[in-house]
Structure 1
Amino acid sequence: MAPWAPRVHRGPAEGTPVSDHHHHVPHRHGTSSLRHRLAHLLTPHSHETADKLDAALESSAQGMRALWVSLAVLGATALAQAGVVAVSGSVALLGDTVHNAADALTAVPLGIAFALGRRAANRRFTYGYGRAEDLAGLAIVLTIAASAAFAAWVAVGRLLDPRPVTNVPAVAVAALVGFAGNEWVARYRIRTGRRIGSAALVADGLHARTDGFTSLAVLLGAAGSALGLQLADPVVGLAITAAIVLVLRDAAREVLRRMLDAVDPALVDRAERAVRAVPGVDRVGELRLRWIGHRLRAELAVVVDGEATLRQAHAIAVEAEHALLHALPKLSAALVHADPAPAPGERDPHLTLAHHLSGQDLSSERP
């Protein structure tokens, strides 16, 4: 069993140590399934492995569906625009087409990441493969950077060697098609990414949204070309490059934060409030949250009555985890450590660890 897997509370299995640490996984309260509601009423609700796997598989399936649908839409958009580029010679539309094609192809690393994320944890990858999404996000950032560099190179080349744009009406129509396709895909990806908690998919949606606005910029180049301004097309191409750089900054920031285990401080505040409200919890110590793929994991320490039995302390830890799972819908697992409130004059047992934690203040790490 992987370290994060939950323990079923029917007594310990043979060889399983008993401790005041407890693992917990979420259940789905918001399902609209009538069968699930009836089962929820007739039997105690569960936070066990099956529920966790169902949620993980469901979210990965939603992510995969978003990827392949957007790949089809953007692929068709890029093909249509490429045909117009061939007959018009517009570098602004070429930059938009290349960016659309690159955006469509980002479905490949994300698809691989979602597929890997559905694999079970093992003795080598004890946390599973959710971090593959972070690598996919990095690949997307590099793809955006490459498309920006290519668009800039083509636009500068056309500035140095101006050429007229032909079939201007077709360029204008292709620009509108590009905007419509990208905006639809952007909304779909961002909505799905936020629902399942995938930073990589949200970054990909932001990428598509910028493509939509750059498609509208192509209209300016087409208008300038219609008025006989040969430099209008490459100037718009450079403007498109600038827009790509802006989305590159936002996407890189989001992905790098996720890779460095950053979380929204509001999530930490919400988790602390939920645990403090649990009967039997005197204080909340260190609380750590991190994203693994599009699911959260939590680790925290709580102070309970020093005279509580092991079973009582464990029950309080279970309730603390239960509160966390309701407070953080994207939480997949939590580990709660129960510390006894110290008696007057009692030596802190954690001081035994001091020589293993050089440079750390144990008093700040423990309640």
Structure 2
Amino acid sequence: MEPLKRSSSAEAIRTTQLGIIISIVLIFVKGISGHLGQSYALIADATESGADVISSGLLWIALKYAQRPPDKGHPYGHGKAEPVAAILIGFFLLAAAGWIAYHSVEFIRTPHHIPKKYTLIVLGIVVLTKEFLFRYVYSIGKRLGSQAVIADAYHHRSDAITSIAAFIGISLAIFLGKGYEGLDDWAALIACLFIIYNAFKIIRPAFEEIMDKAPADELVSAISHIASLHIEVKRVEKCFVRKMGLDYYVDMHIEVDGNINVFHAHSVAHQVKDELLASDLYIKDALIHVEPYDL
């Protein structure tokens, strides 16, 4: 089980590194194209990609820190660094939305030329790239159960949204002509609302994880089912599960025959624990409490 967990963390880190590399490339592509193509929305979009790099770098650090083994000060490990990173990424999104909104209003009030047509090609490529990256990172995050990786995916989606808004605004500005130069800035301003929505969509589940909210009922039922399969377990009385990074910690009460001795009951508890740790449910540790079965 342990090698699987290490490979999962490594996969999350590789996904983050891919996002950083692509975002850095897009910063230069959008920034240069926006400057030469006279599109303030595209320049703002480049800044949003810069926020992507910062948030992905933060996630990279958090995932590395979360891999540290338990120590005296942190007996349950350092997995909580992962949802903390997700919350910080959410706040980065809010900050990016505020920055884009502020400068969009500033650009709307500043007379400027209609953006060049080739900026639409750049934005089309950016949208396709970021949407692909969102889907890829999101699928990894869902499979690993990582709120921070999912948060990073939504950061890529927010970048795609601002690019779509800029594409629509520039298209309208080019089509309608003089007097409508600021439509790409209005589009960027509207896109901020979607970015803010995604930010809160990230922050809420990460905060719930920090507060040790119970995972999905399906997972708890699957864990209880594994324990109940043991021939000497009469009933699973309680099963509490909490998430710590990419792993789960289980507190369980099982009922066994009250006539068996303490050594036998202790052995049953250890067998149940071993079976849980050997499962594919990413269980890091399990505390099994034994109680006598009441007919």
TM-score, normalised by the number of residues in structure 1: 0.74
The aligned counterpart of 2:237 is 285
User: Which amino acid in the other structure matches residue 290 of structure 1?
Assistant: R
The aligned counterpart of 2:138 is 190
User: Which amino acid in the other structure matches residue 216 of structure 1?
Assistant: I
- Structure 1 segment 339-350 matched on structure 2, within 5 A: 339-341=291-293
1:253 equivalent to 2:201? Answer no
Q: Which has the larger radius of gyration?
A: 1
Aligned mates of 1:95, 1:243 — CA distance in 2: 15
Contact 1:198 1:293 survives alignment (8 Å): yes
The aligned counterpart of 2:6 is 57
Distance 1:342 1:269, change over 3 A: closer
User: Which amino acid in the other structure matches residue 137 of structure 1?
Assistant: A
The aligned counterpart of 1:242 is 193
The aligned counterpart of 2:259 is 307
Aligned mates of 2:59, 2:221 — CA distance in 1: 31
Q: What SS does structure 1 have at the residue aligned with 2:258?
A: coil
Aligned mates of 1:82, 1:231 — CA distance in 2: 18
Q: Deviations over 1:277-315 (max 9, x none)?
A: 332222222221111111111111111111112233233
Identity %: 23
Q: What SS does structure 1 have at the residue aligned with 2:27?
A: helix
* Structure 1 runs (4+) greater than 6 angstroms displaced: none
The aligned counterpart of 1:359 is none
Whose helix proportion is higher, 1 or 2?
2
Q: What SS does structure 2 have at the residue aligned with 1:201?
A: helix
User: Which amino acid in the other structure matches residue 259 of structure 1?
Assistant: I
The aligned counterpart of 2:18 is 69
TM-score, normalised by the number of residues in structure 2: 0.90
Contact 2:87 2:202 survives alignment (8 Å): no
1:205 equivalent to 2:153? Answer yes
1:84 equivalent to 2:28? Answer no
Deviation at 1:326, TM superposition (A): 6.1
Aligned mates of 2:12, 2:151 — CA distance in 1: 13
Aligned mates of 2:148, 2:4 — CA distance in 1: 18
Deviation at 1:162, TM superposition (A): 4.3
User: Which amino acid in the other structure matches residue 113 of structure 1?
Assistant: A
For structure 2, which runs of at least 5 residues remain unmatched after alignment?
none
Q: Deviations over 1:190-232 (max 9, x none)?
A: 2222233211001111221232233122211111121212232
User: Which amino acid in the other structure matches residue 180 of structure 1?
Assistant: L
Contact 1:77 1:181 survives alignment (8 Å): no
User: Which amino acid in the other structure matches residue 253 of structure 1?
Assistant: R
- Structure 1 segment 1-367 matched on structure 2, within 5 A: 27=1, 52=2, 54-167=3-116, 169-227=117-175, 228=177, 229-262=180-213, 263-325=215-277, 329-341=281-293
Aligned mates of 2:41, 2:259 — CA distance in 1: 73
User: Which amino acid in the other structure matches residue 190 of structure 2?
Assistant: A
